[in-house]
Structure 1
Amino acid sequence: MLLKRSAVAAGALLALAPRAWAGDVLKNNGFKMCSDNPEVTVERFNLQYDRETQRLNFDIAGTSQKSEKVEATLLFEAYGNEVYRKDFNPCDEATKVEQLCPIPQGPFQAKGEQKIPSEYADMIPSIAFAVPDLQGNARLILKSVDSGDEVACLLSGVTNGRTTKVAAVSYVAVGIAGAALAASGLSALTAAAYPGAHSSGPGFADVMGWFQSMATNGMLSVQYPDVYRNFASNFGFSAGLIPWRSMQLSIDQFRNATGGNLTADSYEFLLKAHLVHDNGKVNASSLAKRALGHLFRRSLLVARDDDSSSEEDGMMHVVKGVQGYVEELSIPKSNTFMTVLLFFAVVVAAIAVGILLLKVILEVWALFGSFPSSLKNFRKHYWGMMARTIVNLILVVYGIWVLYCIYQFVRGDSWAAKLLAAVTLVAFTGVLAFFSIRIVLLARRYRGRNGDPSVLYEDDKIWRRYSLFYDAYKRDYWWIFIPAIVYMFAKGCIIAGGDGHGMVQTVGQLIVEALMLILLLWHRPYVAKSSQWINISIQVVRVLSVICILVFVEELGLSQTTQTVTGIVLIAVQSTLTGVLAILIAVNALIMCLRKNPHAKLREKRKSYDDDDDDGENLTAMDARNSLLLDGAARKATPDSDMTGKYNMTGPYEPYRDHVPTNAARHSRYASTTRLIQPPSRSPSPEEHPQRGYGVAY
């Protein structure tokens, strides 16, 4: 009952409307001979049971070495437990099958239907018709009536037609990611001109990071129940795994020309093979099972002629881990990196074309009229905007990029693919390392001179160039982006390097996720409270997800029922968080439309502080506000009272004694203390002594 309720809850949360045939139906999907030396060889074996009519339809064809009467036993197992057994004689009147009474010598076929008595039909539990991705199998055993010896044994997987692998789920997830991208893009455009302004969560990076977590969870080499494995495959798009027939064929040709082996590792091979997931022990049951959705998807991808069905068409292809995840999406394991690389190139090209097109539109607009001032900043800095967007994209995909590059190194194959993996991994890591080092050096420089790294948040040019790394964090925790990058790198290394070793992958992931959660809880580094709790909640669910995945580790040896219940609970939890993210995106979009731009309000407040500071800086010894007639206490109460000690009261034409106000002094709202520095003996550079605007970043 718990299993059924959990499945229903998970479906309601993320529109997991499973495909199903009309009515409550169980049917087999493929078969395998399970006899050592069968006297009867079967070429076709189809069963379908309708609970509503309680009728069993069958279609069997094969060849027998001799004519003989047989008795049959039909067994049904679900999650490792036998739930149904029926013995019948094809020659009895109640269960008579003319074509099998007796089995003729040579070719034979039997087709028909039988009414299953209620006492037997009631033995099949209701859960078998309700739970998605049923893990069950049917076994048909034929024994000779005369000798009692087994003459044939057939083993077949059973499905109820329901699955958590639904295209609608991917479409909903893509819609959520698209909404987050639109909201993040709008927030970035409006905040670019307002140093220190932060964007509210959840942003595009938050959403894509969460979807990537669900996708990579499905790549671990553990005994996943089909219900969770299929659910995780819905989020393959977030990891760049989008099957495209022409692209896969082109990659196959590229690999073939650069030392790759296509014998059992190509797109055409996958079209003909039936995937079997190796859960550490490939038994007869797992070999018998074919994924109906898997075959259906391939029939849509390519139309094959009738004569293309051959012995190779029934080939069982054993997979696990990363290979199992990507090949379920019709992407050969050695094509994985090249697939992601090509899609990344397509996205970068689309970004470049889009930004350049917008630039052209603005230029034409400027010739015939004036456009909003909010777009002037983009028009002026569109090259920087393009570079910032590409760097942001690298930051979003860095974790899975590390995974695919290392997986390419481990699996080998084409030397050109390995070279491209090495070059891109070094390039991406170098880009992130460059920005990290640059930001750290700037922070250290200004901390030493001004007492804090506030310049990272206040200088226009520095903010525009580097803020994508730290804009969501508080000023004291600008450095959190560095452990976040290390966290992504570590996860990719653990999943790819530990492929095939589920315990190593799971324990390694648990350690990394737990350390990240501790870091977030200890510092709570995010500026916005919404971002604070959203990111902490996402990290908590990540840790809980990895703990649940421990249930699927082969070494623990837990039952299939326990694993399936855990898988459905995991689906429910992850679907709930996904739904919450979607709601928060909608709420934030509504708030952005209704309230005044908070970044503009921040700029107005800062401008008012700057105006007050300007008044203080324009004081002279002859100014009435510097009169000795003013009460001392009153002067101390003024905003510029901290500057009175800088004036030489004995010399009317010497307003400054030895010191000048620094950035921290002028912006006392952001600094806890005011420090004074000795003016340089030469004309200072913008970085050595920043004036209004603080100069440039380089």
Structure 2
Amino acid sequence: MAPSIRSLLTASLFALAPFASASRELTSTSLATCQENSQFSASLFDIALTPGNGSLTFAINGVSTITGYVLLNIQVRAYGLSVYNGQIDPCEDAALKGLCPMQEGPIQLPPSVVTIPSGALSGVPGIAYTVPNLDASFQIKFNDTATGQNVACVEASLSNGKTVDQKAVAWVLAVTSGLALVASAITSGLGHSNTAAHVAANALGLFGYFQAQAFIGMTDIALPPIVEAWTQNFQWSMGIIRIGFIQNIATWYQRSTGGTPSEILSNLDDYSVSVQKRDLGPASAYTLGKRALQRIGGPVMKRASSDNPAGSSNNPIIVSGIKRVGFIAGIEPTNIFLTGYIFFLIFVVAVVLGVILFKLICEGLVKAGRLKNNKFQDFRNGWTTVLKGIMYRIVLIGFPQMVVLCFWEFIQRDSGAEIVLAVFTVFTMIGILGWASSKVIRLARRSIAMHKNPAYILYSDPVALNKWGFLYVHFKATAYYFIVPVLIYVLFKGIFVAFAQGSGVAQAIGFVVIEAVFLIGVSILTPYMDKKTNAFNISISVINFISAIFMLFFSNVFGQPQIVNGVMGVVFFVYNAAFSTVLLILVLIASFYALFSKNPDTRYQPMRDDRGSFIKSQSELTTELDALGATARGEPKHGFYGNKGARIEEDDSSLSGSDTAKNHMTTTTSYTGAGTYYPAEDQGGRHNPPSPYYQSPARQPGSADGSRAASMTRGGYRNQTASPSPWQRGAGYD
């Protein structure tokens, strides 16, 4: 089995050849003890292993309780495989005279160079110096010369300076997501509702996948280095972005509200900070588990003093979970919550200003005669309603981010004011989305009661569509409720990330269960608007579930050999990178087509729920039939945006929510539930005589397919022998 695993690893690593470089050097800046009761520990440890000239450069500050002469046994491991074993006698090397003999007390070794025997590093494979995010360790065991007993063990994670954590990648991902959302908004404003719904659905699915990747990086699991670096590319979606003045604001706010900022990043010259990686042996598990006060990712962090910034011992600080993500991004642990919170507020303000600016630009262009008066007319007439809907969309997009950060702040407790912000924000967002979801469900049920189809009210009222449509337009009409399972899914994942920071195994198991349930749900219900959108989102759920399985292995719950995690880490990166590329290409194609095609709706099939026949625009009511349709829906003369009275989407005692619509429904027509309309009874209980205008006209000349207009009467009503009403299609009646 070992040869096959080694071959798989080699093949996977060579797939990463584009990241390769001619530089050949392995370095480390942190050291951790790797055995119980180790008699040597280091607060500062810098090494550089250069095979080209056979040198080992190092600088160490540590504390020793060893007395006497020792031999240093050095082992280098890559992806769980031993690639070098050697022994050094400190008494035979001038650079190590400070360790010959060893004595109790502080040990400071200035930058020194030790010569490695020629050919000793020939066993290190070339890919170790070129593949990004090398999963390798450098271990030193101190053996007493007289007794041969192992008295201390320290180890460091090695790096070759290559990484898949690239700012350019993060920028591409962020810009693509933003472009898709903007394309959806512009397309919707131009009246291409079908295209806008598809682009928005893909954009939300893509952004949700990005946040799912960020969640993995935030878990308290000892991830392989390449997985850790890959998921770091997505932390911008959680607001984990370092900007200097924002860090200053966060630190100032914390101090001014009674908190005590951490000073880890400002003291890196005085002590080592070790980023938690997978356990490299039984001793490592002990070290990471027992150092509660020093383990930044754990439930307790002892404040570092000016004399000893690492706390009460000289052991390095181990960062994991959310604090690992912040440390890699260059953010102090006590600033992580406020950094994410500030970026969320910046996003909200930027979107609001953008909408207002776009409104002003449109009006200016119309007055200048450079924009047709009917362009973006619905937006210009009801831009405040559109803005409300956009604000709800922002809450939905920022929900995963704020759930994790706010709930985590309950444990972190950076300051009293920040806890208040966290409580207010997360429960307000839960309340807003919960109320909005219940609103959609009430509207859909009212529509079913009135029209035997949930799509009618959900899509016929422009105000309801613009305000609440973000919750249901990407689902088919009969799956209007599916936003509730989606919100519960995100909420539970966020809770596991935030509250289980001390237990990677619990987080891994929780993710597997949650992803499995959600995958089964979307696969059986297929709730999205069409086959392509279902395939798009189901594939994302499949990848998320597979990633959860990988997390279970990374948590070492099965006790598998070390090389298994190394191989799986590389595979995790490869399949997620490939899948992300495919998603980006699909979303970019859809976005550009929506923006630059003259009629982008031709690219998409009409929805089976026939929502297009219900979506009516103020600017589109230009024909007699459209006007009659508007009257039947109870729309006012100047459209919904100009109506100061009640609307369909408002909660009141009437079925329609509009006195005009109610009177029209009760005095003009009655619906039989079979796709046929008759004149309603008059006040005396008698049927009004049918008008000759209600008879079905002949098929219109030039209409090969028998359009809807040809099948309707001049009064806007269907013949009794007509095909089932489009109000019923897609709702289980056809």
How high is the TM-score relative to the length of structure 2?
Answer: 0.71
Instruction: Measure how far apart 1:391 and its partner are.
Output: 0.9
1:569-620 CA deviation, whole Å, 9 max, x = no partner?
A: 11112111110111102321343323514289967999899866989999xx
Write the distance in 2 (CA, Å) between the matches of 1:341 and 1:617.
44
Q: Which residue of 2 aligns with 1:570?
A: 572
Residue aligning to 1:471: 473
Q: CA deviation at 1:10?
A: 5.6
1:464–1:46 CA distance, 2 compared to 1 (3 A): closer
Once the two structures are overlaid, the 10-residue window that deviates more, 80-89 or 316-325, is 80-89
Residue of structure 2 in register with 1:423 after alignment: 424
- Partner SS for 2:502: coil
The whole-number CA distance in structure 2 between the counterparts of 1:33 and 1:545 is 31
Q: Which residue of 2 aligns with 1:412?
A: 413
* Counterpart code for 2:203: F
Q: Report the secondary structure of 1:473's partner residue.
A: coil
CA contact (8 A) 2:184 2:195 kept: no
2: distance between equivalents of 1:383 and 1:608?
A: 21
Report if aligned partners of 2:389, 2:467 keep a CA contact under 8 Å in 1. Answer: yes
Write the letter of the residue equivalent to 1:563: N
1:164 counterpart residue number: 164
Equivalent residue number for residue 235 of structure 1? 234
Contact persistence 1:76–1:139 (CA under 8 A):
yes
| Mapped contact 1:155–1:284 kept (Cα < 8 A) | no
**SS of equivalent to 2:331:** coil
Paired residue for 1:388?
A: 389
The match for 2:518 is: 516
1:584 equivalent in structure 2: 586
Counterpart AA for 2:355? I
Are 1:66 and 1:104, in contact at CA under 8 Å, matched by a contact in 2?
A: no
Alignment of 1:392-541 (within 5 A): 392-453=393-454, 454-541=456-543
Partner SS, residue 77 of structure 2: strand
Which whole-Å CA distance do the structure 1 matches of 2:66 and 2:678 have between them?
Answer: 114
State the distance in 1 between where 2:534 and 2:101 align. Answer: 74
CA contact (8 A) 2:29 2:272 kept: no
Distance in 1 separating the partners of 2:398 and 2:630: 48
Contact 1:138–1:158 under 8 Å retained in 2 = yes
Match of 1:348 in 2: 348
Q: Specify every segment of 5 or more residues in structure 2 that has no aligned partner in the other structure, as ranges.
A: 1-6, 289-304, 607-611, 632-673, 696-714
Q: What is residue 299 of structure 1 aligned with on the other side? A: none
Q: Does 1:672 align with 2:670?
A: no
Unaligned segments of structure 1, at least 5 residues:
290-307, 619-639, 675-698
Structure 1 residues 211, 365: closer, same or farther in 2, change over 3 A?
same
Distance verdict in 2 for CA 1:570–1:135, change over 3 Å: closer
Q: C-alpha distance in 2, partners of 1:144/1:486?
A: 58
- Any idea what SS the aligned residue of 1:134 has? coil
Matches within 5 A, 1:515-664: 515-592=517-594, 593-594=596-597, 596-598=599-601
C-alpha separation in 2, matches of 1:337 and 1:102 = 44
Which residue of structure 1 lines up, in the alignment, with residue 274 of structure 2?
276
Code of the aligned partner of 1:432: L
SS for the counterpart of 2:197 is: coil
Displacement after TM superposition at 1:409 (Å): 1.5
Distance 1:669 1:546, change over 3 A: same
Q: Aligned in 2, Cα 1:149/1:164: closer, same or farther, shift over 3 Å?
A: same
Q: 1:451–1:212: structure 2 CA closer, same or farther, 3 Å change rule?
A: same
Q: Which residue of structure 1 lines up, in the alignment, with residue 371 of structure 2?
A: 371
Shift of 1:242: 0.9
What's 1:2 paired with?
8
CA spacing shift, 1:38–1:495, aligned 2, 3 Å: closer
Q: Deviations over 1:636-686 (max 9, x none)?
A: xxxx995689999996989899xx988999996523389xxxxxxxxxxxx
What CA distance in whole angstroms lies between the structure 2 residues aligned with 1:525 and 1:7? 39
Return the letter of the residue paired with 2:597.
Answer: L
Which residue identity does 1:182 align to in structure 2? Answer: V
Alignment of 1:79-94 (within 5 A): 79-87=79-87
Alignment match, 2:609: none
- The answer for the alignment partner of 1:78 in structure 2 is 78
The 1:358/1:521 distance shift into structure 2, 3 A limit, reads same
Q: Which structure 2 residues correspond to residues 100-139 of structure 1 after superposition, within 5 A? A: 111=112, 114=115, 116-118=117-119, 120-139=120-139
Q: Which amino acid aligns with 2:504?
A: G
Q: Mean alpha-carbon deviation: is it higher for 396-405 or for 316-325? A: 316-325
Greater mean deviation of Cα atoms: 223-232 or 606-615: 606-615
Name the structure 2 match of 1:298. none
Structure 2: how far apart are the matches of 1:246 and 1:217?
Answer: 28
Q: Alpha carbons of 1:187 and 1:111: their partners in 2 closer, same or farther (altered >3 Å)?
A: same
Letter in 2 for 1:275: V
Would the alpha carbon gap of residues 43 and 261 (structure 1) be closer, same or farther in structure 2, given more than 3 Å must change?
closer
Residues 244-323 of structure 1 mapped to structure 2, 5 A cutoff: 244-262=243-261, 264=262, 268=266, 274-278=272-276, 312=309, 316-323=316-323
Q: 5 Å matches for 1:25-64? A: 25-31=25-31, 47-51=47-51, 53=52, 55-58=54-57
Instruction: Work out whether residues 664 and 671 of structure 1, in 8 Å CA contact, stay in contact via their aligned partners in 2.
Output: no
Q: Aligned partners of 2:61 and 2:321: how far apart in 1?
A: 36
Report the counterpart of residue 206 of structure 2 in structure 1: 207
Shift of residue 396, structure 1, vs aligned partner: 1.0
Q: How many Å apart are 1:215 and its aligned residue?
A: 0.5
AA of the residue aligned to 1:330: G
Question: Partners in 2 of 1:341 and 1:98 — Cα distance?
Answer: 50
SS at match of 2:375: helix
* Structure 1: distance between partners of 2:274 and 2:129: 23
Equivalent residue letter for 1:250: I
Residues 270 and 327, structure 1, Cα contact 8 Å, conserved in 2: no
Q: Judging changes above 3 Å, is the alpha-carbon distance between structure 1 residues 362 and 197 closer, same or farther for their aligned structure 2 residues?
A: closer
Deviation per residue, 1:343-382 (Å, 9 max, x gap): 1111111112222222222333333325232222222122
What is the SS of the residue equivalent to 1:138?
strand
Structure 1 residues 364 and 116, CA gap change in structure 2 (3 angstroms)? same
Residue 236 of structure 1 and its aligned partner are, at CA, apart by: 0.7
Measure, in 1, the Cα distance between the counterparts of 2:259 and 2:725. Answer: 62
1:188 equivalenced with 2:191 (yes/no): no
- Shift in CA distance, 200/144, structure 1 to aligned 2, threshold 3 Å: closer
Q: Secondary structure at the match of 2:190?
A: helix
Letter in 2 for 1:418: I
What is the CA distance between 1:58 and its match in structure 2? 3.8
- The TM-score normalised by the length of structure 1 is 0.75
Which of these two proteins has the greater Rg computed from alpha carbons?
1
C-alpha distance in structure 1 between counterparts of 2:725 and 2:690, whole Å? 31
Q: Structure 1 residues 213 and 274 mapped into 2: Cα distance closer, same or farther (>3 Å)?
A: farther
Q: Is 1:329 the equivalent of 2:329?
A: yes
Q: CA deviation at 1:40?
A: 11
Amino acid at match of 1:415: G
Encode CA deviations 1:231-287: one digit per residue, 9 max, x unaligned. 21121101111122322232223223323233x477646786643345697987699
